[in-house]
């Protein structure tokens, strides 16, 4: 096909603003899927995504549409919209020339709308603003159009008004995609270069790479080279998504499709990498390639219904379909052998946890999610640590740095006060406040990632009655007055409970943790002292009193069977907890200390 007649575009939208419904509409309208074969939200493939209404893995669909006698190829690239998958979104956008920016007419512009819109602008995409759900009684399309103009500088007169659900306005939009969005730029470079903007693992066929051909051509049988990872493969199959996979004989410049090349695992493929031909490789990688950075860490230890090797197998299985989640063997004197897991964000972490439970039926003991810190030793050596237990002695540390992010919150103005309070508690610095409409505000903060990495989002939702939204982007490591709190249970340090915190928070945080621990650990036959310490100095104390009476008054013949059952349960209850020395700690205790709510 003539590149002039190709349109590569994505749909960007906040959760529930109608991206999937619009995609469905386009599939139907272009005849790509017949009414008979149609299923709602066709492009969402995994169960979890269906339930949460989010797309975790991008898909790409090739549609055909004839306008004024000319046949056009429209490639819809479905991007992950969530803040955790920032890099993936940017690579999907690099495969496009245009974007449909969809905003719910009753909700207005939200944080992720903004974040992704800016990404699209930065990627040089032509944007068509689309106001959706105009059929809702609460719809205020004109107000929303104003918001779009105010925040993104897009002329409000360029907005399209649709209802993806009913189909109203969608054919006009389809035409606009053809008339307003540019075709792919012609790249006359001789060498073949294809951008890998996504990948998926299929049990039968191995890794499937989603590619956008930038220059040259790909054919089945080609020997290819991944330029960033330096790995070589041979193309066994080439095709397009319609939305099912359909084999084709060649992919040309400007086109979007998939490549199968006997690639065994997802970790062999890096999103953003460039595929070129081994016999005549391109000189330079396509721009924008970056190895993804894990932002949130948590240690997972096998719970009592499983062991280390089962956990390992489960993680290996999960990572087949998710290369951005990492796991490295970890050992804790308190909890034994487990894994240090890295995630792109909290949502990513939750999804992995859910999948562990659901797909592998595994219980885990999960410890504090932490972030990566940068240590500068007095010797000048600089390195990063993933866990408080890797922190060197205080005397060796010249500087401790923590990751900072640019945090954007969009909220109704009545929550500003509470959000300011929350931000203050979390050491966030307000950079600016912008009214995006008479009732809604965008607040930008400079925030330590550690402070928002666990429950900031939940709290934000709580204080704004669910209306506030947020987005964050890593900006760099900055020095901070950080200290490590050690928790001692019965006079022994339980390293799994250690945390790195800002000194200003340390005492309060240490105390809070001890109170939570005291409530979570059951009474024992002896008194259990709980202590929080920084560098050997105790900063807080609590104590769990021993139980004073635990004896059955009567145990005669008829009581034996019943009493043995009760005693057995008592013994099993003890077994279910992790033994740290002579103290039994329930798994719940490890999690309860993370709960930073009041």
Near another protein by CB under 8 A: residue from 137, 380, 438, 558: 558
Report if residue 491 touches another protein, rule: CB under 8 A. no
Angle between helices 19-29 and 170-180 in degrees, nearest 10: 80
Stretch that binds another protein, among 50-58, 323-331, 414-422, 561-569 (CB under 8 A): 561-569
State the DSSP H helix or E strand holding residue 112, giving kind and residue range, or none if neither.
Answer: helix 111-122
Near another protein by CB under 8 A: residue from 379, 395, 525, 597: 525
* Site size for another protein (CB under 8 A): 24
Near another protein by CB under 8 A: residue from 526, 543, 581, 595: 526
Quick one: DSSP state of residue 538?
E
Phi, psi (degrees; rounded to nearest 5) at 190 = -65, -45
Letters for 6-35 (x = contact with another protein by CB under 8 A, - = none) are ------------------------------
Pairing of the two strands 98-104 and 126-132:
parallel
Question: What's the half-sphere exposure (Cβ side, CA atoms, 13 Å) at 78?
Answer: 26
Report if residue 554 touches another protein, rule: CB under 8 A. yes
Stretch that binds another protein, among 85-93, 321-329, 462-470, 553-561 (CB under 8 A): 553-561
Nearer to another protein, 38 or 526 (CB): 526
Q: Which residue is listed with tokens 């003539």?
A: 2
How many Å apart are CA 91 and CA 288, to the nearest integer? 7
324 C-beta neighbours (distance < 10 Å), count: 21
Question: Cβ of residue 543: shortest distance to another protein, in angstroms?
Answer: 16
Radius of gyration, CA atoms only, the chain? 27
Nearer to another protein, 68 or 525 (CB): 525
Stretch that binds another protein, among 66-74, 175-183, 190-198, 563-571 (CB under 8 A): 563-571
Nearer to another protein, 465 or 565 (CB): 565
Distance set, CA 98 to CA 130, 288, 397 (Å): 13, 17, 49
Contact between 63 and 28 (Cβ < 8 Å)? no
Coil, helix or strand for 571?
Answer: helix
Near another protein by CB under 8 A: residue from 39, 432, 551, 598: 551
Near another protein by CB under 8 A: residue from 47, 53, 547, 595: 547
Nearer to another protein, 67 or 564 (CB): 564
Report if residue 38 touches another protein, rule: CB under 8 A. no
Report if residue 598 touches another protein, rule: CB under 8 A. no
Angle at 71 between CA 65 and CA 77, to 5 degrees: 50
Contact between 90 and 288 (Cβ < 8 Å)? yes
Contact between 273 and 226 (Cβ < 8 Å)? yes
Nearer to another protein, 535 or 581 (CB): 581
Report if residue 393 touches another protein, rule: CB under 8 A. no
Chain residues in the site for another protein (CB under 8 A): 525-526, 547-558, 560-561, 563-564, 567-568, 570-571, 574, 582
């Amino acid at each position: 096909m003539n590149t002039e007649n190709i349109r590569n575009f994505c749909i960007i939208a906040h959760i529930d603003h109608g991206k999937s419904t619009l995609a469905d509409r386009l599939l139907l309208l272009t005849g790509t899927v017949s009414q008979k074969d149609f299923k709602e939200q066709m492009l969402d493939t995994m169960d979890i995504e269906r339930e949460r209404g989010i797309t975790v893995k991008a898909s790409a669909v090739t549609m055909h549409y004839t306008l004024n006698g000319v046949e056009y190829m429209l490639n819809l690239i479905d991007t992950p919209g969530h803040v955790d998958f920032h890099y993936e979104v940017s690579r999907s956008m690099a495969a496009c020339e245009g974007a449909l920016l969809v905003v719910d007419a009753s909700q207005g512009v939200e944080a992720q709308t903004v974040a992704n819109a800016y990404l699209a602008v930065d990627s040089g995409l032509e944007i068509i603003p689309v106001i959706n759900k105009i059929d809702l009684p609460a719809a205020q399309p004109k107000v929303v159009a104003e918001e779009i103009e105010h925040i993104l500088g897009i002329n409000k007169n360029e907005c399209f008004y649709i209802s993806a659900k009913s189909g109203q306005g969608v054919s006009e939009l389809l035409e606009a995609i053809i008339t307003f969005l540019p075709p792919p730029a012609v790249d006359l470079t001789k060498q073949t270069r294809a951008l890998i903007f996504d990948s998926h693992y299929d049990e039968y066929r191995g890794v499937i790479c989603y590619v956008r051909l930038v220059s040259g051509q790909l054919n089945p049988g080609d020997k290819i080279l991944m330029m960033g990872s330096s790995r070589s493969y041979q193309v066994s199959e080439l095709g397009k998504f319609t939305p099912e996979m359909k084999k084709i004989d060649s992919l040309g410049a400007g086109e979007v499709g998939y490549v199968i090349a006997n690639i065994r695992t997802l970790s062999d493929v890096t999103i953003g990498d460039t595929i070129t031909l081994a016999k005549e490789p391109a000189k330079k990688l396509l721009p924008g390639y970056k190895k993804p950075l894990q932002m949130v860490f948590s240690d997972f230890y096998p719970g009592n219904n499983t062991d280390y090797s089962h956990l390992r197998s489960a993680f290996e299985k999960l990572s087949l379909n998710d290369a951005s989640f990492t796991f490295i063997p970890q050992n804790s004197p308190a909890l034994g052998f487990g894994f240090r897991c890295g995630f792109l964000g909290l949502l990513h972490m939750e999804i992995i946890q859910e999948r562990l439970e659901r797909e592998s039926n595994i219980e885990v003991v999960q410890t504090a999610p932490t972030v990566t810190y940068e240590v500068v030793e007095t010797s000048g050596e600089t390195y990063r640590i993933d866990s408080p237990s890797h922190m060197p002695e205080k005397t060796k540390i010249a500087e401790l740095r923590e990751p900072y992010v640019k945090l954007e919150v969009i909220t109704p103005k009545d929550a500003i006060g509470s959000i300011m309070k929350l931000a203050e508690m979390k050491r966030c610095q307000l950079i600016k406040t912008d009214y995006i409409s008479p009732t809604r505000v965008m607040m930008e903060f400079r925030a330590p990632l550690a402070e928002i990495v666990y429950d900031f989002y939940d709290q934000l939702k709580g204080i704004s009655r669910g209306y506030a939204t947020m987005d964050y982007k890593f900006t760099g490591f900055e020095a901070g007055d950080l200290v490590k709190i050690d928790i001692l249970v019965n006079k022994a340090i339980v390293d799994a409970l250690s945390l790195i915190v800002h000194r200003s928070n340390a005492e309060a945080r240490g105390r809070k943790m001890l109170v939570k621990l005291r409530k979570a650990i059951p009474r024992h036959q002896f008194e259990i002292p709980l202590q929080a310490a920084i560098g050997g100095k105790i900063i807080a104390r609590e104590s769990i009193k021993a139980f004073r009476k635990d004896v059955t008054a009567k145990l005669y013949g008829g009581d034996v069977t019943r009493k043995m059952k009760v005693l057995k349960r008592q013994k099993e209850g003890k077994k279910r907890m992790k033994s740290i020395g002579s103290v039994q700690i329930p798994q719940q205790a490890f999690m309860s200390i993370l709960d930073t709510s009041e």
